[in-house]
Amino acid sequence: MPLHLIFFTLLLYLHIPASSAATDTILAGQTLGVNDKLISSNGRYALGFFETSRKSSGSTPNWYLGIWFNTVPKFTSAWVANRDKPIKNSTSLELAISHDGNLAILNRSSKSIMWSTQASITRNSTTAVLLSSGNFILANSLNLSEVFWQSFDHPTDTFFPGAKLGWDKVTGINRRLVSSKNSISPASGIYCTEIDPSGINQFWLAPLNSLVPYWSSGVWNGKYFASIPEMAAHSIFSSIFVSNDQEKYYTYNLEDETMVTRQVHDVSGRSKLFIWLKGSQDWVMIYAQPKAQCDVYAICGPFTICNDNALQYCDCMEGFTITSPEDWELEDRTGGCSRNTPLDCNISNKSTTHTTDKFYPVPCVKPPHNARKVEEAASTSKCAQACLNNCSCTAYSFSNSGCSIWNNELLNMRQLQCGGATNSNEETIYLRLSAKDIKSLKNNRGGFVIRIAIGTGFSALGLFSLFLLLMIWRNKRKSSDLILNGAQGSNGIIAFRYTVLQGATKKFTDQLGAGSFGSVYKGFINDSIAVAVKRLDGAYQGEKQFRAEVSSIGAVQHINLVKLIGFSCEGSKRLLVYEYMSNRSLDIHLFRNNSTILSWTGRYQIALGVARGLAYLHESCRDCIIHCDIKPENILIDASFTPKIADFGMAKLLERDFSRVLTTMRGTAGYLAPEWISGVAITPKVDVYSYGMVLLEIISGRRNSCTSCPGGGNADVYFPVHAAHKILEGDVGCLVDHILHGDVNLDEAELACKVACWCIQDDELDRPTMGQVVQILEGLVETTMPPIPRLLQAMAGSSHSTRS
């Protein structure tokens, strides 16, 4: 054979191997084995076979053909060909182009086809290519632009950049995302993301094949979807919505193609966006919808209660146990819970019903929506009997709206905070259980009390001989004599002896600060637990009333509120004991020379946290709490830089009248709303005004009232007015603290400035509520350009404000 023919044959052999492992293409005659993979030309994606199995189960693994992120060391699949048809035996698997031109998973030993593209092929020769976009295509070998089949038309749970979410009106293909079954299996789950089939230009999240969504994006306005205004601020994506005679779809592209992102409709039923961070070597979630996990339809399954404030948000109702613990462990809780004991519902004849079933109260819940009203049941007892008369009835409720009963499975029960001002849907549901389960529940509680009583009795007998010695030892050891008369309120608030707190604070020598209501000192309980002890000035209430008010303050708990640990009330001495905040108050970080510089991200999160705390005080407590003295000194920062509002509830505790005129309160100049001076009754909007002033200081890093502070702008112009003008001029950058050196998200800064200016409007009716402020800062609600408050301009009296 001539040398050039040998060389040509060798090249041909190298170009078309029996198993392609380091290419992005499969040609006719080539195969991809279990140990091979295709890699896109940019190296971002890989395609091949992978297995899934539970490590502890010992079961035979399932094999799938799929696409994953090749540059991410943590295996993360993005598309699966045979997600609902797993393959058990991998020894003879191969991916190849079959005789009809389709791409197929073949079993070599049985010569059978396990999966195929099933496309209508009009050419004899086809080629499969994994593109740099992550799209796996089957195309004409001579013209790759002639595509017969593509993975982008058959998405699983991941939305690739450049892919289309929506309808091809010509072929009838509906490109939608379907969640996976659980955290291991890529099989189809029960939730989907799709373009609204009713014709509205939006997409929604809904149970599979349901026409009732549990979240929708809002209508596309040409730039973003109405419910996702943050899309307008994102610089990492460019979005497109297309609607014409041939197709209707939404797509997006990455502005920075080096960024590795993952948008997925995951097992939890939520749409989530992740970014791969090389530093942490993990996916970091930056966005999720719906915001609350319990908004997902039936996420916990039947006979469960969903609680957004719990780490494990799903829990079985009393008298029920988890149907499939294995599924729950894999994050699939849609199977819910099952009865421990079947109901006893025996109907002897048409007019008489005999049953031993009882009802168990489930308080403070948002009931399921599918209630049936029983108009003739005009009392609680009649409502209960109406439920007992129906064998399929599983619960009832009787309230101002009358009698409601629920049949069969109970879905979407949601735990609410008892007595919350915003919980208008809060009810007590009476759950139908067998008499055996009711008795068991009572016995468990009674048995617990009996066991405690017996244990206490034996302990008392055993310790009686040492009682006197123990009392002497307790009196000598001051640090253990913490609780006054053993008193501890229902909210866990401890009543300390005054001498204990005096010793813990070294006789009140380590002062942390002083405010409107008294001085604060650092102390240590048991020489190890750091606390902040506030010594109140002007507390003249009687002891009983003081204890009652302290108890009510202790019941108010939120991640953005300082936690009250205890108090002391002896004679005229009044002390409050709070958790210690290691990073002190916000003013130290904003206005003083501090080694720790608050980044823009940190400032924005602090602003958002304070807003959430105030919204909780105003809208979610049993009684609305108006703080009346919001300022940086009353915003404390913990070790993780989470902001916590201090001194809430002080007005009622110290019997201050905040509802009349300026002279009867102790607000702080510079943060007072105009209505303080007018003498009208105040509302929560005074806190909104103060928050707006604080927000401006968070943005600028300077006091609003400072006339000679650095940080840009005219020193002789009152800063809030200066800020309002600069917002109108579109020059937000000059308002941000110069110490950040421009390392700022200007879209967030502009949004924060707008919110601040709305909060400090002259008329309280023009100000948003704190709940609305939270929604705006979270990007859930769009806001417009605010007007410059007239009163502030008059107060400033500068030529700048006069000309405007």
Query: Is the model's pLDDT at 314 over the cut of 50?
Result: yes
Tell me the mean pLDDT in the region 773-788. 88
Judge whether 210 lies within some domain: yes
In a domain, 176, yes or no: yes
Contact yes or no for 268/293 (Cβ under 8 A)? yes
- For the chain, the residue count is 804
- Cα–Cα–Cα angle for 148, 140, 29, rounded to 5 degrees: 105
**Quick one: 656 and 509 in the same domain?**
no
Contact 786, 720 (CB under 8 A): no
pLDDT-based confidence at residue 539 (cuts at 50, 70, 90): low
Confidence band (pLDDT; 50, 70, 90) for 345?
confident
pLDDT tens digits, one per residue of 625-637: 888 889 999 999 9
Residue range 123-127: average pLDDT? 86
pLDDT at 652: 60
State how far the Cα of 352 lies from the Cα of 629, in Å rounded to an integer: 64
Indicate whether 662 and 762 sit together in one domain.
yes
357 is catalytic: no
| Higher per-residue pLDDT: 360 or 92 | 360
Residues 6 or more apart whose Cβ sits within 8 Å of residue 191: 178, 179, 205, 206, 207, 208, 265, 269, 296, 297
The model's pLDDT over 572-610, given as tens digits with 9 standing for 90+, comes to 788 999 999 988 899 989 987 666 788 999 999 999 999
Mean pLDDT confidence for 768-783: 91
For residues 631 and 774, membership in a common domain is answered with: yes
pTM of the model: 0.57
Q: What is the pLDDT of residues 690-726, one digit of tens each?
A: 999 999 999 999 888 654 444 444 444 577 878 878 8
Examine the domain organization and report whether 576 and 690 are in the same domain. no
**Last residue of one domain, picked from the residues 411, 431, 451:** 431
Using CA atoms, how far residue 296 sits from 265, 303, 732, 762, in Å, is: 12, 15, 38, 40
Cβ atoms within 10 Å of 97's Cβ, excluding its own: 23
pLDDT value for 693: 93
Counting the structural domains of the chain, the total is 7
Q: What is the CATH number of the domain that holds 31?
A: 2.90.10.10
Q: Are residues 602 and 666 in the same domain?
A: yes
Residue of higher predicted confidence among 14 and 236: 236
Range of the domain at 173: 165-291
Instruction: Determine contact, residues 28/141, Cβ cutoff 8 Å.
Output: yes
- Is 247 within a domain? yes
**753 half-sphere exposure, CB direction, 13 A CA radius:** 30
Pick the range with the lowest mean pLDDT from 147-151, 234-238, 247-251: 234-238
Higher pLDDT, 537 or 258: 258
State the sign of the Cα–Cα–Cα–Cα dihedral 700, 234, 638, 646: positive
More confident residue, 417 or 428: 428
Q: Which residues are annotated as a binding site for ATP?
A: 534
pLDDT tens digits for range 476-511: 444 334 444 334 444 568 888 999 999 999 998 888
Same domain, 440 and 554: no
pLDDT at 782: 86
Residues 588 and 716 in one domain: yes
**Which has more confidence, 103 or 798?**
103
768 and 713 in a common domain: yes
Which member of 157, 315, 357, 629 is catalytic?
Answer: 629
**Is residue 159, in this structure, part of any structural domain at all?**
no
